[in-house]
Amino acid sequence: MALRDIFKFREMPESETSKPFLEHLEDLRWTIVKMAITLVAAMIICFAFRSTLVRVMQAPLHDVDPQVGALRALGITDSLVISFHLAFYAGIVLSFPLLLYFLAEFVLPALTAVEKRFLLPAIFVSFALFLLGVLLCYFWLLPKTILFFFRDTQSLGWTPTWTVQQYYSFVTRFTIGFGLAFELPVVVLALVRFGLVTFRFMARTRPYAIVLIFLLATIITPTPDILTLIAMGLPMCLLYESCIWIAWIMERRRSRSIAG
């Protein structure tokens, strides 16, 4: 019964305006509490495996040069602070499906029975895209980016000596940011599904969307260099372009179903 209450969509009154504002705040508070508890539980699990997380996150660096793989800890509390940071970001990845579900409980209370049946598959696809972005960044983009900065540093006659704070801040923000960037199709298609945007609108505003995407990439990327900005922004532009054509397919199917 308790689990059923936790995973139950909040009830929508006959008129949304008839629901008191304080009840909306209570729903929001309960949603935040559930998301916080889920994230903290995932963080505790990840913190227990912090040694494994450290080895996994430093693997791309060891592949570039084993000597650089020996990061320098300049702060007395670096071991604990970095462990908490890793547990936080790994906890986001681990708890991502539940966090999405709890957010959907609050944002989408008025879904029909048919739409609710599509919710879990949609969450699964969203998590799969997020995980795909993280893995693609970790196995392909991150090693190339680290190698580029390693060689660029050496080309200036400097010895690459990186600290744990610098390295883990770069790696975690880069990988998580890339994973979140892969959520763009889910967001766009949800807007198309609810009729908030159309294929024509997306195609017409493509230049503005590209500018916004690169502005978002500038915020997400951990370093201000142009290479990292392009590496983050270009895949997002390609994802947005794919969303335009998927929206076109969805609208054609909808038109055919109405005509039939």
Q: Which of 82-96, 165-179, 195-209 has the highest mean pLDDT?
A: 82-96
Return the pLDDT at 87.
94
What backbone phi and psi angles, to 5 degrees, belong to 163?
Answer: -95, 160
Cα–Cα distances (Å) from 37 to 34, 43, 157, in that order, read 5, 10, 49
Q: How many CB atoms lie within 10 A of CB 128?
A: 13
pLDDT in tens, 39-52: 999 999 999 999 99
What backbone phi and psi angles, to 5 degrees, belong to 72?
Answer: -100, 130
pLDDT in tens, 210-234: 888 888 777 766 666 677 778 778 8
Burial class for 231, CB neighbours closer than 10 Å (0-12, 13-18, 19+): buried
Rounded distance between C-alpha atoms, residue 42 and residue 51, angstroms: 16
pLDDT at 16 over 60: no
Greater confidence (254 vs 80) lies with: 80
The sign one gets for the Cα dihedral 88, 234, 237, 239 is: negative
Rounded distance between C-alpha atoms, residue 124 and residue 195, angstroms: 22
Return the pLDDT at 7.
57
Instruction: For tokens 């908030």, name the residue.
Output: 196
What does the pLDDT average to over 78-83?
92
pLDDT > 70 fraction of the chain, expressed in percent and rounded: 83
What does the pLDDT average to over 183-204?
81
